Amino acid sequence: MNIDYSRELPVIQGRLSLAEIENLIASPLDEKPGKKFFIALSISLSLLFIGVLSVGYLFYKGTGVWGLNQPVGWAFDITNFVFWVGIGHAGTLISAILFLLRQKWRTAIARFAEAMTIFAVMCAGIFPVIHTGRPWLAGYLLPYPNQHHLWVNFTSPLVWDVFAVSTYFTVSLVFWYIGLIPDFAVLRDRTVSKIKKIIYSIFSLGWRNSHRNWQHYEKSYMLLAGFATPLVLSVHTIVSFDFAVSIIPGWHTTIFPPYFVAGAIFSGFAMVVTVMIFVRKIFDLEKIITLNHLEKMNKVILATGMMVGYAYAMEFFIAWYSGNPFEQFVFINRALGPYAWAYWIMVSCNVISPQIFWFKKLRRSIPIMLIVVILVNVGMWFERFVITVTSLHRDFLPSSWGYFVPTIFDIGTLLGSFGLFFTLVILFTKTLPVVSISEVKAVAEGAQPSHHGGEH
Amino acid sequence: MQSNNSYTKKDLPLDLRNLGFTLLVGGIILGVIAFFLDETRAIFNYLLSFVFIVSIVVGCLFLVALEYVAGADWSTPIRRVSEFISSFIPLLVILVIPLLFSMHDLFHWTHEEAVEGDKILQGKSPYLNIEFFIIRTVLFFVIWNLFYFIIIRNSRKQDKTGDQSLTKKNIIYSAIFIPLFTITITFFSIDWMMSLEPHWFSTIFGVYFFAGSVVGALAAVTLATVLLKEKGYLHPKMVDDHYYSLGALLFAFINFWGYIAFSQYLLIWYANLPEETFWFLARWEGGWIFMSIFLIIIHFVVPYSLLLSQPAKMDPKRLKFVSIWILFAHLIDLYWLIMPQMHSEKSGYFYTILEFAFPIAAIGGLILVFFFNSKKQNLVPVGDPKLDRGLNFRL
Amino acid sequence: MNRSDKKYGVAALFNSPDDIIKAAKKVTEEGYTKYDVHTPYPVHGMDKAMRLKPSKLGFITLTFGLAGAAVALLFMFWAMSIYYPMIIGGKPFFALPAFIPVTFEVTVLLATLSTVIGMITFFFKYPDQKHPLHDTDYMKKVSVDKFGICIEVDDPLFNEEKVKELFKGLPFESIQTIFHPAEEKHTVLEPKFLGFLAAVAIVVSFGTYVALNKILYTVPFDWMMEQPRVDAQSKSEFFTDGFGMRTSVEGTIARGFIPYEFKGMNEPTVPLSNPLKPTKEVFELGKKKYLSFCSPCHGNYGDGDSRLGENFPKPPSLHSAKAREWQDGNLYHIIVNGQNVMPSYETQLTRDERWAIVHHIRALQKAKNASEQEIQLVKKESLENAK
């Protein structure tokens, strides 16, 4: 296939008119959900129910119901937390960084990815709260004036986490909502139902498509993107600090911050592609979320996959180079010890499987990309598992060496988090436009004035 | 109107050649004096300017490759600037030779008596030994030169033919080059800078040097672009939006550098393990403490504040000033990495002045290379299919 | 929405972005100021066509961002270094690198929230559901695919005919006049609404009360309060003797206590000598402890004039020749061991306190039996000191 490099690829296929774009995106909201919707929802709700049961029993009995032991005092809870926070990085990355990089193709997937960010951060937020086993005391994490005259320990990475994740959640939500305001106005002006109209009116805040507003709106979007970009980096950096400020071999290594961020983008993009493949099919959005979009996402997955591979290699090399016997032991133990199976799942899923994307044909084939992105999701979950558990299960004292085996409550909680995530995603598809209407209109062909007229 | 809106090739003024020549010769003379006065210091300074040059010229090749891989079009009209700077790469092979002959002065691990009594250094000797070190260095130069010749040749050929398949080929070569670039630049930094203190280790070191190189390369490209555009050597259709993109990238990588530097410091400071902290302690003692604080200010705080606002990112005057500033800061960054490892009896202001000898020569060399390249080649890739798109780029 | 006959403005719709740019330019050139362009998405180049000044939103962001950074840093400095300084991980009280993450997050949070809130309230004057443009045919079209421009009646140059004339000179799609909506009456203080507020208040307070005072004391929330443990002084079924509290293993020595080697003997075989120097502090300690523990029986000056009256046998005077001839070690021995009816004070007094009491007794003995010469000397010295 020969590409003409002198012309930009159209963002939308098939020269749709503005009204057609709007109809395509907004019409699913007008129809009553079909059978498939309820089947999907019942599956995800069942998963959620398993999670609720597991967590309910956890609250009743305490963290003893999990497979935690001495020395592995931190396993599925932190693994799931980091996994979900990582998933939550794609949305803001797509909406903020790609916005700053002027990547027009982001418009088609930004809204959905942002929603996934918010849901993933919600899933992530559950784990630090429940991992204490006494979640009603979670308020102690926040600095508030109290009768003990004690403030939280601001030098603790766990408190940084509280600040980072809550800030990230708030900013993502605000960013998402700001993007939704013009769309609420569109829906308000479209709908015939009275109740819907009231709801859309309230959320649109009285938006009038005024250019005097658009001007500030664009500025604010840019400022928010400018803040969200370092924020995305900071969140997973701080998550990596949870491990890396300690002195445990396998956790304390300086490459952790960029390594975690690359991993987060990697897993987040994989999750977005996974969901996108289904969404574009089910909602007939193939002309708006095109194969080109997916291909670009796959390229990012390939790039970040190699970054993650670079970090694995650097860790290994420097562990040997450091001459520190504990470091050396931890890494040899990772690859050859009792958790070698997890390590090799991680390497083959994260480093080897995305290499398929070097080939254009495979990069553009839906079944193959679905397999790869699911493997990447699995691999990235195992990455966090490997980091947490293999570093802990071999203590400095050989007498306290142990092995972690998850119980059904560990697994139930993990399934429950997937249930929560997909329930929210499924409900989202029927309540809000899954693609930003105004943004896609703005990048349609002929939507902008031609600037070959000495404009500038 | 038409003639105003298209590119016509103009030769750069001879003054530029004379300036480059003066700087080069002056720098070399000063360098020779420095060498006779204080050999150790001179060889370390030579290493400093060598690493400085490598970071900029290889960084520029990375920028070229990045444009191809990312499919960016805004940077196409100024791609030649990066290409010209990266055409220094073949000369690096000559520059490295004096360093290979003075490895004993530079690297503690080449001292056999030191390795003998040191278990850690013995453990590292499969990696840190002279033969393997030279093999690696040669390998880095082979990879850089190979991709330099392939990518740049295709780009230049396109000026005449306008063949689109050359772009496609370059995209593939660039995609292969970028992973190789990150690996080579990482091990280059470990070999030539981290192993100056062979007991110290940090997994982020390669990323730190990568961030510094991209900042340095971007600053060099920005400086050259602004100067050339002001004098009318570039395409007249280039507008503020192109400056803005350069400024924004510079701003982004300044932040990235700050982020990486902070991560490395925080983790080592927090864990407080003696096998890691001693490297920072060496940079926190005596006069070095001022250097360390100075580095944070000049490499992060000042450029960050200068580039923060949107109009600042597209103001050519501001960009010119900031990019010179950043190039200086990048040099100081490398100085801060390398020089605390130098132990010389002699000190004084006189020697400090001489420390500028090699960087001056290096800058002179860069100017000359740029000048001679521009004689034969277009300053704008006229045959590139993305050129029109790039010129019409608007925010 | 019902419309009144009060005019809001005249609006025209256009079909393409190029047309609307042209229209906006024209309207601006004519000198209109109170007009607005409505487009389904931001059209590039419109700022220039309308001659809008760059948005000042960035100043809000900058101000609140800097304020956030300052507040976070100062607060952490105050909480961690001044209000409740604690050494954590061997770091200084003002551990700047460790404060940077939180400072950064608070900066971003304040900057973004202030930007958005500032934009919506200050720049947009939202929420505004009563604007005349809402629910018009014009608004419904510009939110889909048309591009509109609306000149308000309030504009000083407004003249309906002229404005329509202006629009007709442009490639318009349609022109319409927009009227203000009919006034609607709202009474905020309706009894229904007030009743609703009261109901919400009652439900919330009741819920809070129940949650904090009842639910938190039920299973499993109270499991930290009810722990399976043996309380002090309670019975135990585990041990055969039924005591919950256990005595320490025989021969156990408490930390800091050095056992007395002549314990239980009538007299020490080798009387110990006083290890404490007779300093002011030691005398003060000795006096204090003597008055607390010894004086009830021995009297304040060691005369044996017990305050307990006839209820307890009076001890002999400490000023007897026998007592004065005893060595320090003998006095110490009696304090540790007890004598006759005097119990041991080993558990009440620490080693240093006992020796301090010995010093005090020596001082009392000296004072009671001083020679005239010594008294004169003391008087003289104290007179000199008084000067």
Q: Which residues of B fall within a CB distance of 8 Å from A237?
A: 259, 263
Q: Which residues contact A148 (CB under 8 A, 6 or more apart)?
A: none
Whether C92 and chain B come into contact, CB under 8 Å, resolves to no
Task: Note whether B339 and B51 are within 8 A (CB).
Answer: no
Distances (CA, A) of A198 to A189, B361, C1, C244: 11, 72, 13, 69
Please report which confidence band the pLDDT of residue B4 belongs to, taking 50, 70 and 90 as the band edges: low
C-alpha B204: how far from chain center: 18
The pLDDT tens digits for A181-197 are 999 999 999 888 889 99
- The predicted pLDDT at position A91 comes to 83
Residue C17 is encoded by which pair of tokens? 């972005």
Whether A220 and chain B come into contact, CB under 8 Å, resolves to no
Check pLDDT > 80 for residue A281.
Answer: yes
The C-alpha atoms of residue A229 and residue A251 are separated, in whole angstroms, by 25
Burial class (CB in 10 A: 0-12, 13-18, 19+), C280: exposed
Whether A355 and chain C come into contact, CB under 8 Å, resolves to no
The C-alpha atoms of residue B320 and residue B227 are separated, in whole angstroms, by 8
Question: What CATH number is associated with residue C337?
Answer: 1.10.760.10
**Mean confidence (pLDDT) of chain A:** 90
The C-alpha atoms of residue A238 and residue A161 are separated, in whole angstroms, by 6
Q: Between chains, do A6 and B73 touch, taking CB under 8 Å as contact?
A: no
- The predicted pLDDT at position C1 comes to 62
- The predicted pLDDT at position C312 comes to 79
Q: Between chains, do C112 and A136 touch, taking CB under 8 Å as contact?
A: no
One-character DSSP codes across A202-214: HHHTT---BHHHH
Task: Note whether B372 and B24 are within 8 A (CB).
Answer: no
Q: Between chains, do C97 and B270 touch, taking CB under 8 Å as contact?
A: yes
Helix (H) or strand (E) holding C7: strand C3-14
Backbone angles phi, psi at C180, to 5 degrees: -65, 150
Question: Which residues form the domain of A91?
Answer: 22-443
Length of chain A: 456
The C-alpha atoms of residue B42 and residue A263 are separated, in whole angstroms, by 43
Domain co-membership, C147 together with C203: no
Length of chain B: 395
**Lowest model confidence (mean pLDDT) among A24-38, A248-262, C28-42:** A24-38
C-alpha B133: how far from chain center: 21
Residue A301's CB is within 10 A of a number of other CB atoms, namely 26
Q: Which residues of C fall within a CB distance of 8 Å from A174?
A: 112-113, 116
The pLDDT tens digits for B7-23 are 778 888 888 899 999 99
- The predicted pLDDT at position C218 comes to 85
A12: left (phi over 0), alpha (psi -120 to 50) or beta: beta
- The predicted pLDDT at position A453 comes to 40
Of C84, C89, C119, the CB nearest to A149: C84
The C-alpha atoms of residue B61 and residue B152 are separated, in whole angstroms, by 9
Of A159, A211, A451, the CB nearest to C50: A211
The C-alpha atoms of residue B174 and residue B166 are separated, in whole angstroms, by 12
Q: How far is C105 from chain A (nearest CA, A)?
A: 6
Q: Cα angle at B33 between B31 and B36, to 5 degrees?
A: 110
Of B119, B203, B392, the CB nearest to A254: B203
In a domain, A268, yes or no: yes
Virtual CA dihedral for A218, A223, A224, A227, nearest 10 degrees?
A: 160
More confident residue, A102 or C349: C349
Virtual CA dihedral for A288, A449, B3, B380, nearest 10 degrees?
A: -30
The C-alpha atoms of residue C347 and residue B30 are separated, in whole angstroms, by 84
Helix (H) or strand (E) holding B137: helix B130-161
Q: Between chains, do A442 and C102 touch, taking CB under 8 Å as contact?
A: no
Whether A239 and chain C come into contact, CB under 8 Å, resolves to no
In a domain, A11, yes or no: no
In a domain, C264, yes or no: no
Q: What is the pTM (predicted TM-score) of this model?
A: 0.86
Q: Which residues of B fall within a CB distance of 8 Å from A255?
A: 203-204, 207
Give the burial string for B76-114 (b: 16+ CB within 10 Å, else e): bbbbbbbbbbbbbbeebeebbeebeebeebbbbbbeeee
In a domain, A402, yes or no: yes
Please report which confidence band the pLDDT of residue B3 belongs to, taking 50, 70 and 90 as the band edges: very low
Alpha helices in B38-77 (DSSP H): 39-70
Return the domain boundaries, chain B. 3-379
Please report which confidence band the pLDDT of residue A451 belongs to, taking 50, 70 and 90 as the band edges: low
Q: Between chains, do B388 and A322 touch, taking CB under 8 Å as contact?
A: no
Burial class (CB in 10 A: 0-12, 13-18, 19+), A341: exposed
**pLDDT over 90 percentage in chain A:** 63
Q: Between chains, do B267 and A230 touch, taking CB under 8 Å as contact?
A: no
As for how many domains chain C has, the answer is: 3
**Which residue, C266, C235, C254, C246, is CA-closest to C351?**
C254
Q: Between chains, do C97 and B310 touch, taking CB under 8 Å as contact?
A: no
Question: Which residues form the domain of C208?
Answer: 186-231
- Rg (C-alpha) for chain A, rounded Å, is 23
- The predicted pLDDT at position A64 comes to 87
- The predicted pLDDT at position B181 comes to 95
In a domain, A449, yes or no: no
Question: What CATH number is associated with residue A32?
Answer: 1.20.1630.10
Of B255, B260, B394, the CB nearest to A230: B255
Q: Between chains, do B268 and A254 touch, taking CB under 8 Å as contact?
A: yes
Of C183, C209, C243, the domain-final residue = C183
C253: left (phi over 0), alpha (psi -120 to 50) or beta: beta
Distances (CA, A) of C256 to A131, A157, B173, C159, C331: 42, 39, 77, 100, 22
One-character DSSP codes across C148-203: EEEEETTSTT--HHHHHHHHHTS-EEEEEEEEEEPP----TT-HHHHHHHHHHHHH
Give the burial string for B326-337 (b: 16+ CB within 10 Å, else e): bbebbbbbbbbb
What ipTM is given for this predicted complex? 0.93
- The predicted pLDDT at position C97 comes to 93
Whether B262 and chain C come into contact, CB under 8 Å, resolves to yes
Distances (CA, A) of A292 to A11, A144, A297: 8, 49, 9
Q: How far is B203 from chain A (nearest CA, A)?
A: 5
Task: Note whether B27 and B355 are within 8 A (CB).
Answer: no
- Three-class SS of A95-130: HHHHHHCCCCCHHHHHHHHHHHHHHHHHHHHHHHHH
To probe the interface with C, which of B265, B267, B270, B305 has the most C CB atoms within 10 Å?
Answer: B270
The C-alpha atoms of residue B96 and residue B43 are separated, in whole angstroms, by 12
Q: Chain B residue with minimal CA distance to C91? A: B270
Helix (H) or strand (E) holding C9: strand C3-14
The C-alpha atoms of residue C323 and residue A363 are separated, in whole angstroms, by 105
For each of chain C's 387 residues, which pLDDT tens digit applies? 678 888 899 999 998 888 899 899 989 998 898 899 999 999 888 888 889 998 889 999 999 999 999 999 999 999 999 998 988 888 999 999 999 999 999 999 999 999 999 999 998 888 888 888 888 889 988 888 899 999 998 888 888 888 888 888 888 888 989 998 887 776 677 888 899 999 999 999 999 999 989 988 888 778 777 777 888 888 888 888 888 888 888 888 888 777 888 887 877 888 888 888 888 999 999 999 999 898 888 888 888 888 887 777 888 888 888 888 888 888 898 888 888 888 888 888 888 899 999 999 988 888 888 888 888 888 888 888 877
**Mean pLDDT, range A297-314, rounded to an integer:** 94
- The predicted pLDDT at position C190 comes to 81
Whether C89 and chain B come into contact, CB under 8 Å, resolves to yes
Chains that touch A (3 or more CB pairs under 8 A): B, C
Cis ω before C92 (30° cut-off from 0): no
Whether A155 and chain C come into contact, CB under 8 Å, resolves to yes
In a domain, A8, yes or no: no
**Cross-sheet strand order for the sheet of C3-14:** C35-38, C147-152, C3-14, C172-181
Distances (CA, A) of A31 to A26, A27, A37, A193, A431: 10, 7, 12, 12, 11
Check pLDDT > 50 for residue A455.
Answer: no
Instruction: Look at the block and give the residue holding tokens 């550098």.
Output: B257
- The predicted pLDDT at position C329 comes to 86
**Mean pLDDT, range B95-108, rounded to an integer:** 90
Q: Is C345 helix (H, G, I), strand (E, B) or coil?
A: coil
The C-alpha atoms of residue A113 and residue A121 are separated, in whole angstroms, by 12
Q: Between chains, do C97 and B266 touch, taking CB under 8 Å as contact?
A: yes
Helix (H) or strand (E) holding C11: strand C3-14
Q: Between chains, do A314 and B203 touch, taking CB under 8 Å as contact?
A: yes
The pLDDT tens digits for A412-442 are 999 999 999 999 999 998 899 988 999 889 8
In a domain, A37, yes or no: yes
The C-alpha atoms of residue C358 and residue C345 are separated, in whole angstroms, by 13
Task: Note whether A385 and A341 are within 8 A (CB).
Answer: no
Whether A102 and chain C come into contact, CB under 8 Å, resolves to no
Instruction: Look at the block and give the residue holding tokens 């006065």.
Output: B37
Task: Note whether B379 and B78 are within 8 A (CB).
Answer: no
- The predicted pLDDT at position A100 comes to 83
- The predicted pLDDT at position A454 comes to 39
- The predicted pLDDT at position A336 comes to 94
Please report which confidence band the pLDDT of residue A375 belongs to, taking 50, 70 and 90 as the band edges: very high
Q: Which residues of A fall within a CB distance of 8 Å from C224?
A: 134
Of C197, C231, C265, the domain-final residue = C231
**Mean pLDDT, range A363-378, rounded to an integer:** 94
Chains that touch B (3 or more CB pairs under 8 A): A, C
As for how many domains chain A has, the answer is: 1
Q: Cα angle at A145 between A158 and A156, to 5 degrees?
A: 15
Whether C98 and chain B come into contact, CB under 8 Å, resolves to yes
Residue C109's CB is within 10 A of a number of other CB atoms, namely 23
In a domain, A424, yes or no: yes
**Mean pLDDT, range B304-328, rounded to an integer:** 92
- The predicted pLDDT at position B352 comes to 74
Whether B271 and chain C come into contact, CB under 8 Å, resolves to no
Task: Note whether B384 and B76 are within 8 A (CB).
Answer: yes
Q: Which residues of C fall within a CB distance of 8 Å from B262?
A: 97, 100
Of A102, A237, A315, the CB nearest to B263: A237
The C-alpha atoms of residue B18 and residue B1 are separated, in whole angstroms, by 35
Residues facing residue C175 across a β-bridge: C12
Q: Between chains, do C98 and B265 touch, taking CB under 8 Å as contact?
A: no
In a domain, A340, yes or no: yes
**Mean pLDDT, range B187-208, rounded to an integer:** 94
